[in-house]
Amino acid sequence: MIGLILLCLAIADILLHASLMSGWFQHQRKGETNEEYQERKIDVHEVADRKNRPVHFDRFSVNSLVISIWLIICAVLVTG
């Protein structure tokens, strides 16, 4: 069970660094001028640069993946 929990934590950590929410569209607000909207608007090229990065593996996610895989393999061998 600990191996599965660590595996879920590693996956969550990897997905949190994936910038999945960086492409949300912003619409012009009521009463906002075009100049204010253009200043607040997200640059399409900046979003593409963030989303097209390689997958981010930090120390926590790598250690969690290694330990969880080892614990799952040990659990299978012990119960098998």
| 33-48 pLDDT per residue, tens | 888 888 877 776 776 6
* Structural domain boundaries, residue 13: 2-21+44-79
Residue 65 lies in a domain: yes
Residue 37 lies in a domain: no
Total of domains in the chain: 1
Amino acid 75: pLDDT? 95
Amino acid 55: pLDDT? 76
Contact 19, 51 (CB under 8 A): yes
Amino acid 22: pLDDT? 59
Amino acid 57: pLDDT? 84
Amino acid 48: pLDDT? 66
CA atoms of 76 and 57, how far apart (whole Å): 26
Residue 59 lies in a domain: yes
Residue 7 lies in a domain: yes
Residue 35 lies in a domain: no
pLDDT tens track for 45-57: 776 666 667 777 8
Q: How many CB atoms lie within 10 A of CB 10?
A: 21
Residue 27 lies in a domain: no
Mean pLDDT of 62-79: 95
